[in-house]
Chain A
Amino acid sequence: AQSVSQHNHHVILSEAASLELGCNYSYGGTVNLFWYVQYPGQHLQLLLKYFSGDPLVKGIKGFEAEFIKSKFSFNLRKPSVQWSDTAEYFCAVNARSNTGKLIFGQGTTLQVKP
């Protein structure tokens, strides 16, 4: 069965610090990979996605993620966080043949101190 694991449950950073959130998945087949962000009281917004091609994916708001197939990882990075990045971040995966049935990680709460 597919599963997604996010290593950090709660991360606290100061503004301008660099961010890396870990995400590992388990699935034997071809997958699509996603990072979503959820600001307090709001819906999930897509940050970035990987379907195929260049494993280094750039998303909105300065975020990027790197797909490392050999490690089953899709870590999210941002060189310099801002207070407005305070939110919950979810990694998700689905089997290539099953478009909308996403398996989510448990989420990482990021708190950025001004």
Chain B
Amino acid sequence: NAGVMQNPRHLVRRRGQEARLRCSPMKGHSHVYWYRQLPEEGLKFMVYLQKENIIDESGMPKERFSAEFPKEGPSILRIQQVVRGDSAAYFCASSPETAGNTIYFGEGSWLTVV
């Protein structure tokens, strides 16, 4: 049973470009979460999605960031017009539908903005 798959693992973007990070949840998991880990900090919740629905985006920056989890295909975290401060590790996690279950993390996507 494959774990949470994220790609790319490492992404370098110039300031002003767009970054797209993809996440395929574990098989049988319908809930996806995105977290961001800035250097020297813990993980911060960004957004919680189910298929075709954003459930909680209270941790998302107001501008330039968006997330989706379409009916088919992986979840996408999109960052438009990246700035140096967006450089971070972005972790995706997934969980089954049943409440009370543990979430499982992917290996992360490291974004570097130059």
Contacts and interface: CB of A to CB of B under 8 A. Distances in A.
B105 interface: yes
Nearest to A98: B56
B77 interface: no
B94 to A, nearest CB: 8
B104 interface: yes
A61 B34 CA distance: 27
B103 A99 contact: yes
A74 B104 CA distance: 20
Interface residues of B, number: 24
A52 to B, nearest CB: 9
B107 A42 contact: yes
B33 interface: yes
Interface stretch (A12-20, A78-86, A100-108): A100-108
Given A90-B42, A104-B44, A43 B108 contact: yes
A88 to B, nearest CB: 9
Nearest to B104: A46
Interface of B: 4, 31, 33, 35, 41-45, 48, 56, 91, 93, 95, 99-108
15 contacts: A44-B43, A90-B42, A90-B43, A92-B43, A99-B95, A99-B103, A100-B33, A100-B48, A101-B56, A102-B45, A103-B45, A104-B35, A104-B42, A104-B44, A107-B42
